[in-house]
Amino acid sequence: ELVLKVRIQTPNLRENDFIEIELDRQELTYKELLRVSCHELGVNPEHVQKIRKLPNTMLRKDKDVARLQDFQELELVLTVSEKNLLFRVPTLSEQSGYNKKASELTY
């Protein structure tokens, strides 16, 4: 098995930890890397714009994946629409201008 560290690229978050994934060395293809990474991170593969080997190399084909070594760090760069879905929408009580006492009034 090849062990890789993968995360979603989210520059706005302070904490953006990597997870470790395992790929069968007999199936080191771009498609398999994308499938396993997306499954482990809970991302739809259709929303992945590119896979980046940190710090600055884009993976494009099976030969790129075959050259990866254990514990290399990768990022999934998502399309803009998917990035927006990663952030939790604040509840009504967390939004500015919300008055809790006013919401509890009974008529």
DSSP letters along 48-79, please? EEEEEETTTEEE-SHHHHHT--TT-EEEEEEP
Number of domains in the chain: 1
Tens digits of residue pLDDT in 6-16: 999 987 766 78
- Mean pLDDT per block of 10 residues along the chain (107 residues) reads 93 80 94 95 93 95 95 92 47 47 52
Answer yes or no: is 21 within a domain.
yes
CATH of the domain at 64: 3.10.20.10
> Given this model, what pLDDT does residue 24 score?
93
For 70, phi then psi, to 5°, come to: -50, 140
Say if strands 73-78 and 2-8 run parallel, antiparallel, or are unpaired: parallel
**What single-letter DSSP state applies at residue 91?**
P
Dist CA 30 CA 59 (whole Å): 8
Tens digits of residue pLDDT in 52-64: 999 999 999 999 9
Element (H, E) at 21: strand 19-23
Answer yes or no: is 91 within a domain.
no
